[in-house]
Structure 1
């Protein structure tokens, strides 16, 4: 089912309507829905969709030649065995016509033929630039696809647009799972994030059933998913797995990670930079400060997998799913709590929960934490998030504690908000899942 992606489709349609040749780069992590997006865009257009494989250059050229033969009605394409010639002949056959060519998983062609970007540059400059060709290069290897955008890339200055496809936010999750209540949607978000492929797996299962059936069972599609993705993207997956395990267990500063991994400071910084570039982790600073930041696993499923699955792989290899699930269950509520905080911050940043805020960040200092501090036009908003059911008096005490923590902040106007799973006798400055559900729907 194709849902959401209005902004991405609007971008592609806007480029489609522009005159002249277009060279567009679409990239993003595997499973995020790039192929569905491009097939949706292709629906009412003259063009071809080509999925590259890791087989060989000859096999890929042969397959593409067949598709271009069908598109143009010219049989001679099938006899061409050179990528550059295929595109040159395409330019001759479609010179004045708008035609869409999607080359998906383009990173495979880059691996098989390291000079393919130079070939493409030459054909683009000499033949395609004066045509109506709309060429899309799409890939799942973020590192490799970003190389096509770099200053040193042969395509630098030729591309006419690029878009990084991101996982859904909570609104996209709601559209894919419209029959779930907000509590279940928070659990889905906490475990699987907004990756469409994972959400499709959850369609007929609750979040926790999906963990037991599709994540913890050897041989199932998500059992080794993070390891598979790391092996495909990185040369030393073992080291990266160790770092990700450390962050998931709460070793969040550079010093803590050095102690946990045994790697020296210079080396671990390089590994962390790579993981940041791949959007697997992020570095956050406490509100109002420029140092003493913390790393966190940005991808929700990676976060869950390294926290609960990776440390238990030996037992899961033996099929001890029930035993491992019992261990996970004991810590799951605390995990939901942390991820609920993340969701509320995300809703504030995206202005799904809109109080006119600008910058939004966590804050911590000397053992005290505030889940979100948001800059308003006339002051600051302080937010406390609780994954629990509170009576009115309990909720008021939480707000009193929050106000005490905010005393050290110098702001003309201070506002406060408590967000909890449920609040009995909800008063001002309070929201619960019912309120959030109305916003996301």
Structure 2
């Protein structure tokens, strides 16, 4: 049954809802997100003859709700944000807000979600119309059958769908839940015409968003808060370090201050994921990672548990986007795990071990004793990751003589020296018709002025790989430094023996 005749006065949709245009201007107060906005507006304005569905996900504080609310406003669509409630309360709120949207004299009443979804399909009977259900996981937890209800409503031959041009967008912050919504045996698999993940701002965008011109200061700030937009506006209320000299004080008055929302945010990021049952174990896994235990065996040893106990938590943390797994470029059967959210790495390395002192307001003392650990355990690994991201997203093809395709880390055994060499940035790419060519071996040092000794180590690794049969003919050795390079190394770069990447190049060059 259509609910237009039952719930919508004939004039309401025509008089209270603005008609969308194909070219919806991005709101002036929206920073960047050009690609996300273009994808969403193209989906909302699609002139296709039948109802379609999209899934939008991303961790909290990335601006998903702002994007979707702006889309609904610009296109005259309907936006509903759920919260944790019973099915009956959610249906009541949904009916009230839909009634307000359509200009109904009285609130609409729905006894089942089947009726509510059909009401949304009826909204798009006249024209393409975006309809947003934000925080969809809250509704699905109260009504586990809701994904199946949407599946039935969007059946390929269902008349209600074929005669509607509603553009339904389901949004959620639980990456574990949203990731399963379209995968495997999920009822909605194959139903979505768009799957969009709203990612944090990259390190260059984050520097611009925070208004920081000094690349060293920008990277230090990014090592603490990453690229989450809300941390500047809502969490620290536009408190930006004035310069490098102000950075220490800024950390103490924000991330280490019990008065700041940023102080507890890392712990709340885990709480947002309802699929995490034993939160103490997950926190311990993250703490082990932040302490430098990067392998499953190392984490298990740190926690004094069998490796089998660690496998599932690591998988779930990956699904949540809080941990990333990286495969060794030269030993495919070996991988390492790294914390994927800078604020969590900072919290577990610096804040969590000293919570009793921080709760007493002793941020200055804690920071004074922890600053060296911050530079080595937090900034150092983060700098390596930023270098890999630069290669993947910003380096010009001519930098390495080919288009980078895969950027990772790698370890190369050195039997003669009875050791192994870890390479921070391994670049494989395309040269002509060949894909997977080894383009570069790179070493990254945040706090060291790099010299010829670092180049010699890379040369040694190149010769070891060549001795194992690896084609190194296209390899360009690269040094990445946050502290600079010696004159001898710059002279080697001038002769084409090494590529040098400093902070200025990371943030402004190719």
Verify same fold: TM over 0.5. Answer: yes
The equivalent of 2:424 in structure 1 is 371
1:362 aligns with 2:395: no
Does the C-alpha gap of structure 1 residues 209 and 128 become closer, same or farther in structure 2, counting only changes over 3 Å? farther
Report the Cα offset of residue 41 of structure 1. Answer: 2.4
In the alignment, does 2:61 pair up with 1:14?
no
Q: Pick from 251, 256, 264: which aligns with 1:211?
A: 251
Write the distance in 1 (CA, Å) between the matches of 2:52 and 2:240: 42
1:251 and 2:293 are equivalent in the alignment: yes
**Secondary structure of the corresponding residue to residue 294 of structure 1:** strand
Structure 2: segments with no counterpart, 5+ residues: 1-28, 242-246, 413-418, 432-436, 467-471, 494-498
**Is 1:419 matched with 2:480?**
yes
Name the structure 1 match of 2:244. Answer: none
* 2:131 is the counterpart of 1:101: yes
- Render the CA deviation track for 1:6-34: whole Å, top value 9, x for unaligned: 22222222222331211111011111221
> How many residue pairs align between the two structures?
437
How far does residue 435 in structure 1 lie from its aligned partner after superposition?
Answer: 2.3
Larger Rg computed on CA atoms: 2
* Change in CA separation of 1:353 and 1:314 when aligned onto 2, cut-off 3 Å: farther
CA contact (8 A) 2:179 2:319 kept: no
Change (3 A) 1:21 1:208: farther
> Cα distance, 1:406 vs. partner?
2.3
Q: Which one has more relative contact order, counting CA pairs under 8 Å at least 6 apart?
A: 1
1:255–1:14 Cα change, 3 Å: same
SS in 1 for 2:35: helix
Aligned position for 2:215: 182
Q: How do 1:61-80 residues align onto structure 2 when only pairs under 5 Å count?
A: 61-75=91-105, 77-80=107-110
Work out whether 1:231 is the aligned partner of 2:261: no
Q: Rate the CA distance shift 1:208–1:41 in 2: closer, same or farther, 3 A.
A: farther
Distance 2:338 2:184 in 1: 30
Moved more, 72-81 or 381-390: 72-81
Render the CA deviation track for 1:174-229: whole Å, top value 9, x for unaligned: 33123431111111222211111224346422254443122222242122222222
Equivalent residue runs for 1:318-333 within 5 Å:
318-333=360-375
Kept in 1, the 8 Å contact 2:350–2:374? The answer is no
Work out the CA distance in 1 between the residues paired with 2:255 and 2:304: 29
Cα 1:221/1:129, change in 2 over 3 Å: farther
Q: CA–CA distance in 2 between the matches of 1:210 and 1:101?
A: 41
Which range moves more in the overlay, 106-115 or 132-141? 106-115
Say if 1:46 and 1:98, in contact at 8 Å, map to a contact too. Answer: no
Change (3 A) 1:149 1:373: same
Q: Secondary structure at the match of 1:340?
A: helix
Check 1:140–1:95 CA distance in 2 against 1; reply closer, same or farther (3 A cut).
same
Q: CA deviation at 1:399?
A: 2.0
> Counterparts of 1:250-269 in structure 2 under 5 Å?
250-269=292-311
Counterparts of 1:188 and 1:113 in 2: how far apart (Å)?
Answer: 41
SS at match of 2:447: strand
How far apart in 2 are the matches of 1:413 and 1:91?
A: 56
Asked whether 1:340 is paired with 2:340, we answer no
Q: Which moved more, 1:168-177 or 1:76-85?
A: 76-85
Q: Deviations over 1:65-113 (max 9, x none)?
A: 2332233233355344543323323434541222221111111111122
CA shift in 2, pair 1:93/1:279, >3 Å:
closer
Q: Is 1:152 the equivalent of 2:177?
A: no
Structure 2 residue 37 is the aligned partner of structure 1 residue 2: no
Take 1:90 and 1:382, find their aligned partners in 2: how far apart are those partners?
Answer: 54
8 Å contact 1:4–1:175 — kept in the other structure? no
Distance 1:197 1:352, change over 3 A: farther
Specify whether residues 93 and 261 from structure 1 end up closer, same or farther in structure 2 by C-alpha distance, changes over 3 A only: closer
CA distance in 2, matches of 1:146, 1:433: 35
Provide the aligned C-alpha RMSD in A: 2.3
Contact 1:173 1:199 in 2 (8 A): no
Matches of 1:108 and 1:358, distance apart in 2: 38
Which sections of structure 1, spanning at least 5 residues, go unmatched? none
* Distance in structure 2 (CA, Å) of the matches to 1:352 and 1:35: 32
The reply to whether residue 350 of structure 1 matches residue 380 of structure 2 is no
Using a 3 Å threshold, how does the CA distance of structure 1 residues 278 and 94 change in structure 2: closer, same or farther? closer
1:386 aligns with 2:445: yes
TM (norm. structure 2) is 0.80
* Cα offset, 1:314, TM superposition: 2.3
Contact 1:77 1:86 in 2 (8 A): no
Asked whether the 8 Å contact 2:438–2:475 carries over to 1, the reply is yes
Partner secondary structure for residue 206 of structure 2: helix
Q: 1:33 aligns with which of 60, 63, 78?
A: 63
